[in-house]
Structure 1
């Protein structure tokens, strides 16, 4: 037993040790890893520009140098313009010093006055103050023999040449030195990108060459698309802010607009810092509060629109990360690597998410941080019915049916999801409470879809269904009979105009029967259902000539012999009808299709095929088919 426990605990212990070592390497290896990662991400950003120049007929070396010069010149020009604007603003700030001090005094007065008044009230009613006689004032005079203090002036000596050189070296070795190191690494990475790619493929193994190349291509495409989308959004944001501040007659509107666009590259915190900076500046230059509040409201409204409407359509979908993943990645990388980590948090996490789609060790990152979870529509439906989330299921079904047919919804969502539930129930993985939630959610969904198929004008009154013994298919059939009559429609119809769906008197067949009826009613006006093995009403026993197509549910292993007998009887009663059965791709442990096909005219594989099978051919389509 102890050996078994140790074997079970070993993978978790190994994973914990590996994760701890990775975090330690990232934290203590920051001086080496940070510039290297920055250079790699910048190389992915500049690579599309290099490819554009290369397609124009320039050589690779020329394209790389030209791209670097263009990118560097753009950074230098923008930096110089912003620096000049900042210098101008700094020179003008002394003129606004009086307004700043006055507003700071007002803010202090507004914030401190309630507390001072509260303290005075408390001191007035405090029992300690009622009996006190007052403290004797302390003598402030000096003793007679005390000497008067002599003021001392401390002067800083002029810096020596050695100190000036040291200060210059510290500045160069700081941010400027790191920027230079990143630029040098960027140059060599761009020039050696072919060699680096071959080394990565060789390191991953020649057997995984295709997967490695696919991972690198997806990472490069994702990061490039992310930065391009973010660049467009931030440029538009900067121009809009500049225009708004200019209309409000704020000095240096272009500077604050450009600063807003640049700071928005930092997730979440950047936009907040830009808004605070603009509000403080406007509050300093204006003696009142109206202009500052107007600018703050304009910036906040614009940020809300961009973050909640523009970015989800342009930037959110192109990033490949969920909104929560962006926040968590910014917090994680910002804590590890400071401002640089905060800036590259999104593209770096995006690369890990892309790698997790192809590397099993990073699969957890993709599952947690990708924009869409790695689950199918059927799995999501199963999770929701397990939780009893009927509202979410119905909302998703309505959204899905706006773009696709109900037959496709059954094929790709509903039936595969219920197959997962049946498989888990057979293994004993679902308790009774979960089974009741599943049944209740499916009943609610079926009622809603049935009512929607009637245009929302149902005349039948919804009956309460017991979750213990509910047959959802029978419930839907009885509801349709209550609305259309006992024969589910008139018997005075043309020959071969009725589509009939038939199945056994069990929950599986009756439910699928009714789903198929709902699916076929999208293209056929007269679709009805019967239960095999039960006596039919007298008026319909001799109306077999009205049926043109009869769908019979595919049998399971336990009822195959009975199914063959009943299908033969159905063929006798419907001599002119085409007998069709449907073997859905989500069904398992069913009889072989070759054996079933002997009792029917055709075997289809999905509800969508059934829909195509009964779709009437218009004269235009028939003419096109004849000409082809």
Structure 2
């Protein structure tokens, strides 16, 4: 009699290693395909930044201004007209603010060579301390210097005026694109969303997607408005302190502090260095020279360690590791504009993950799950 059970066990024993090997190959292929997809996505984000950057900025601005358009709509003003009115008021306020700091900014740019010279003179003590290291470097350069009969090749880049002109043209074009996209998102975004919901076949799916969109929109708008208000207060406080200390162009440094504060860690650090340089070139004594930077450190420490966690932490908490990594990543990918948008993009991602059940694990990883009642529908 044939032992079929034994034959089956033998066959399974022979095929099991092959099955395990095949499963490992499939997993390896999945990881490799995922890595290639990530590289392709980064490649696309980098080379499409001139298109994607205005779109991202327009979406964030539309979310920030959407409550005002909704308020005007409740007052019987059509959304296209209300969007145009709110956008014009926002542009007017932005233009007035930029105009108030434009002349001081141009003046400081023109004084840049004098500022650098003054800094070198004031920091001469530090330079004397570093003199031995500089002399060692010069000796090393002399040892590795090429022979006199060899020609020195000098690489000349484009002129500074050409660089500034090209950047200005690109900035104006992207600015116009942001304004136009923001208007269309404000005026017709609701209609587009309604069309998407109507295309869904099941009523339960329409209600589910609508709840997620409303929840995400409410929480993102609240976060952006809160952060913008905090940074505006920081700008006013910094400008007031600089004015009381007698620092030239206090409005300029206040505006810079508020704008740079959108970039966690790196932004306040850059503002501190700038205020230190301004203090050194503006005052004779070291006590007065250090006061602007020290006062700003005190203000931004209170804001970063107490005010922002107390206000924003009730609705959204972000993991500092991911915050810093996100700033570095988007700053490397899109430059200063990417660094400014990094934290809002991370916040949008976390809120979206918290509102979507399959992605709540990712949301918890980005900063902790929202407590009951934190993420509430409209």
TM-score (norm 1): 0.48
Q: 1:168 to 1:233 in 2, by over 3 A?
A: closer
Q: Mapping of 1:111-126 within 5 angstroms?
A: 111-113=130-132, 115=133
Aligned to 2:267: 270
Q: Kindly report which structure 2 residues correspond to 1:486-525, keeping only aligned pairs within 5 A, or say none.
A: none
TM-score between the two structures when normalised by the length of structure 2: 0.76
Which residue number corresponds to residue 356 of structure 1?
A: 353
Q: In structure 1, what is the Cα distance between the partners aligned to 2:231 and 2:76?
A: 31
Given candidates 67, 82, 86, the residue that maps to 2:105 is 86
Given candidates 24, 44, 49, the residue that maps to 2:68 is 49
Partner of 1:184: 180
CA distance in 1 between partners of 2:213 and 2:25 (Å): 35
- In the alignment, which residue of structure 2 is the partner of 1:151? none
Aligned to 2:56: 37
Q: Aligned-pair distance for 1:47?
A: 0.5
The structure with the larger Rg is 1
State the alpha-carbon separation in 1 of the partners of residues 28 and 350 from structure 2: 22
Q: Which of the pair is proportionally richer in strand? A: 1
Q: Looking at secondary structure, tell me which structure has more helix per residue.
A: 2
Q: Which moved more, 1:6-15 or 1:266-275?
A: 6-15
Relative to structure 2, which stretch is displaced further, 359-368 or 277-286?
A: 359-368
- Compared with structure 1, are the counterparts of its residues 85 and 173 closer, same or farther at alpha carbon in structure 2 (3 Å cutoff)? closer
Taking the TM superposition and a 5 Å limit, the aligned residue runs for 1:602-617 are: none
1:24 equivalenced with 2:20 (yes/no): no
Residues 371 and 84 of structure 1: CA distance in aligned 2, closer, same or farther (over 3 Å): farther
Shift of 1:40: 1.6
RMSD in angstroms over aligned alpha carbons?
3.3
* CA contact 1:353–1:362 (8 Å) conserved in 2: no
1:310 deviates by: 0.9
Q: Which has the higher contact order (CA 8 A, sep 6+)?
A: 2
Is this contact kept in 1: 2:216–2:355, CA < 8 A? no
- What per-residue deviation string (whole Å, max 9, x for no partner) do you get for residues 407-426 of structure 1? xxxxxxxxxxxxxxxxxxxx
Counterpart among 221, 228, 242 of residue 225 in structure 2: 228
Note if contact 1:317-1:371 (Cα within 8 Å) is conserved in structure 2: no
Report the CA distance shift for 1:178/1:371 in structure 2 as closer, same or farther (over 3 A): same
- Aligned partners of 2:79 and 2:186 also within 8 Å: no
Separation (CA, whole Å) in 1 of partners of 2:19 and 2:263 = 50
Unpaired runs of 5+ in structure 2?
1-15, 140-158, 373-378
Cα pair distance change 1:116/1:96, threshold 3 Å: closer
Distance 2:342 2:116 in 1: 38
Q: Distance in 2 between matches of 1:50 and 1:277?
A: 38
Q: Paired residue for 2:243?
A: 246
- Mean CA deviation greater in 177-186 or 316-325: 316-325
- Number of equivalent positions: 331
Once the two structures are TM-superposed, the CA of residue 300 in structure 1 deviates from its matched residue by: 1.3
Contact 1:96 1:285 in 2 (8 A): no
Q: 1:74 to 1:205 in 2, by over 3 A?
A: farther
- Counting only pairs closer than 5 Å after superposition, residues 136-535 of structure 1 correspond to structure 2 as 170-171=166-167, 173-201=169-197, 206=202, 207-359=204-356, 362-372=359-369
Structure 1 portions without partners, runs of 5+? 124-158, 376-628
Superposition deviation, residue 258 in structure 1: 1.9
